[in-house]
Amino acid sequence: MDKIRALIVDDSSVMRKIVERSLRQAGIDLDKVVEASNGAEALVALQNNVVDLILCDINMPVMDGLEFVRQVHTVDSAKDVPIVMITTEGSESHVVQALTAGARGYIRKPFTPDQVKEHVLPLLGKKS
């Protein structure tokens, strides 16, 4: 598998590290991990970094994950980057909102590396 450049967006630095560790435990070979604590920071990060995958929380200050997903497609280098929402928001309406906004997957917290593998690998064109 090619090395993957990932952007992890969550207002909790601990959760960003958990997501990164879960990606590695899922067998995803990370070349680079860019972190952002909210959607606004993530948009800036995307202007300075090319990534292959975005994992994003929904509930964050400044700019939440849904608004970030709506705006990410304005960044040329990120238009086709798959976005997976990782959040405690479990209601069906949040899932629909995230997918309608442009997310390609949805993982509920707490999650396992196997769940990350199941949701992320197909988006990267890989089999689990």
Total domains, the chain: 1
In a domain, 100, yes or no: yes
In a domain, 128, yes or no: no
Q: Which residues contact 14 (CB under 8 A, 6 or more apart)?
A: none
In a domain, 91, yes or no: yes
pLDDT band, very low/low/confident/very high, at 127 (cuts 50, 70, 90): low
Domain region containing 89: 4-123
Average pLDDT rounded to a whole number, residues 49-55: 94
Q: Which residues contact 8 (CB under 8 A, 6 or more apart)?
A: 16, 19, 20, 33, 34, 35, 36, 54, 55, 56
Average pLDDT rounded to a whole number, residues 23-48: 94
CATH of the domain at 37: 3.40.50.2300
In a domain, 76, yes or no: yes
Per-residue pLDDT tens for 77-112?
888 899 999 878 666 777 788 888 889 988 888 888
Helix (H) or strand (E) holding 45: helix 39-48
